[in-house]
């Protein structure tokens, strides 16, 4: 009891110098640019790491990250990322996919070997929503080779995503028919959770990947979702990233970005064709 009270009231000195050191490391490692108003958030998320490591304060933590990070760099970047997501977030993208893009690709006979990348997939709701949309809108989908790559920097969310298990509350808003078709309700010890159907899981490969590092993928993608990831990056970092996306996607193929993001003054290799939907033009 005493220990629990002690833990909750622990406070650490957090200097400007500590904050600046940490944001330099974050920016270098992840591309995420932390503004001044993120200071309290950084403090809150990292005090847990200090306690877990039994460190005396932020000077010692900065020293560890700068000189001998080992596994701590992963815990650090996991702690800093913001993973907010949901099934069918920004539904207009999924409507576009099922009502316009898939019928077009079907007509052009471009569904064979369809490759989709969910870059910054968080806990998986985005790639599973893509998989549901593809399965619902491509007739006889098993006759085609359709695959989704889902990647994220944060190792915790990738693990969670690949388990395919969610609290039932995460899928509450979905139509009953979709729930019945794509999710198994947990029973007994698993009551209150749902598991994504195997047909969806089989379409998706989950991998940890830092978008700032080299990408191991050889082939090009037909569709890229990178939504609500670059809002945390500065413009020069965004410019480099979208240039790399342009190199990694087929000509005339589609890129979906988040509701508060745009490619103005970032790249001229994509053209806006709908609400936060772009097509590669060069
Ligand atoms: C707010 S979530 C967005 C999830 C999903 N795309 C959506 O729109 O619902 C942003 C995700 O980007 C990931 N992320 C941030 N920086 C990254 C990087 N450098 N490489 C890969 N993923 C990154 C975070 O870990 C986080 O899971």
Q: Give, for 119, the enclosing helix (H) or strand (E).
A: strand 114-119
Nearest CA to ligand 1 atom 27: 122
Domains of the chain: 2-80 (1.10.155.10), 91-280 (3.40.50.150)
Instruction: Give the integer Cα–Cα distance in Å for 240 and 266.
Output: 9
Could you give phi then psi for residue 216, rounded to 5 degrees? -80, -10
Using CA atoms of 46, 47, 51, 57 in order, give the dihedral in degrees to the nearest 10. Answer: 100
Among 120, 125, 241, which is best to mutate for testing ligand 1, by the most ligand atoms less than 8 A from CB?
120
Task: Decide: 196 and 125 in contact? Cβ < 8 Å.
Answer: no
Q: What is the mean pLDDT of each run of 10 residues along the chain (282 residues)?
A: 44 97 98 97 97 97 98 98 98 98 96 97 98 97 97 98 98 97 97 98 98 97 98 97 98 98 97 98 98
Give the active site residue among 45, 135, 244, 279: 45
Active site residue 45: yes
Ligand 1 pocket check for 77: Cβ under 6 Å: no
Q: List pLDDT tens digits, range 61-106.
A: 999 999 999 999 999 999 999 999 999 999 999 999 999 999 999 9
Give the active site residue among 23, 115, 147, 152: 152
Active site residue 234: no
Ligand 1 pocket check for 90: Cβ under 6 Å: no
The most distant pair of C-alpha atoms in the chain lies apart, rounded to whole Å, by 68
pTM (two decimals) = 0.96
pLDDT of residue 7: 43
Among 29, 82, 229, which is best to mutate for testing ligand 1, by the most ligand atoms less than 8 A from CB?
229
What is the layout of strands, in order, in the sheet containing 165-167?
Answer: 165-167, 193-196, 183-185
Instruction: Give the integer Cα–Cα distance in Å for 190 and 195.
Output: 10
Q: Which atom of ligand 1 is nearest to the CA of 86?
A: 9
Token pair belonging to 208: 């940890």
Q: b/e for 159-180, b at 16 or more Cβ within 10 A?
A: ebbbebbbeeebbeebeeeebe
Q: Which atom of ligand 1 is nearest to the CA of 154?
A: 25
pLDDT of residue 6: 39
Chain centre to alpha carbon of residue 244: 17
Burial of 239 (0-12, 13-18, 19+ CB in 10 A): middle
251 CA → ligand 1 middle, Å: 25
């Amino acid at each position: 009891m005493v220990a629990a009270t002690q833990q909750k009231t622990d406070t650490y000195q957090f200097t400007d110098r500590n904050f600046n050191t940490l944001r330099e490391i974050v920016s270098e490692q992840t591309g995420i640019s932390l503004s001044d108003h993120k200071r309290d958030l950084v403090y809150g998320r990292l005090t847990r790491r200090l306690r877990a490591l039994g460190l005396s304060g932020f000077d010692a933590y900065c020293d560890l990250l700068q000189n001998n990070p080992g596994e701590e760099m992963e815990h650090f970047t996991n702690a800093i990322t913001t993973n907010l997501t949901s099934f069918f977030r920004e539904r207009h993208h999924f409507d576009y996919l099922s009502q316009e893009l898939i019928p077009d690709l079907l007509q052009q006979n471009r569904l064979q070997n369809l490759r989709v990348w969910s870059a910054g997939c968080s806990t998986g709701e985005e790639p599973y929503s893509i998989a549901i949309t593809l399965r619902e809108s491509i007739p006889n989908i098993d006759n085609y080779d359709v695959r989704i790559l889902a990647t994220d920097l944060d190792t915790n969310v990738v693990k969670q995503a690949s388990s395919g298990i969610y609290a039932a509350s995460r899928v509450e808003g979905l139509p009953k028919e979709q729930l019945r078709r794509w999710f198994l309700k947990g029973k007994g010890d698993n009551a209150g959770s749902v598991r994504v159907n195997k047909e969806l899981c089989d379409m998706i490969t989950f991998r940890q990947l830092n978008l700032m590092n080299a990408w191991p993928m050889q082939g090009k993608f037909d569709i890229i979702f990178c939504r609500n990831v670059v809002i945390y990056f500065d413009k020069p970092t965004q410019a480099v990233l979208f240039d790399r996306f342009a190199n990694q996607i087929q000509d005339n193929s589609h890129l979906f970005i988040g509701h508060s993001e745009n490619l103005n003054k970032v790249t001229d290799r994509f053209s806006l064709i709908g609400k936060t939907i772009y097509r590669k033009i060069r």
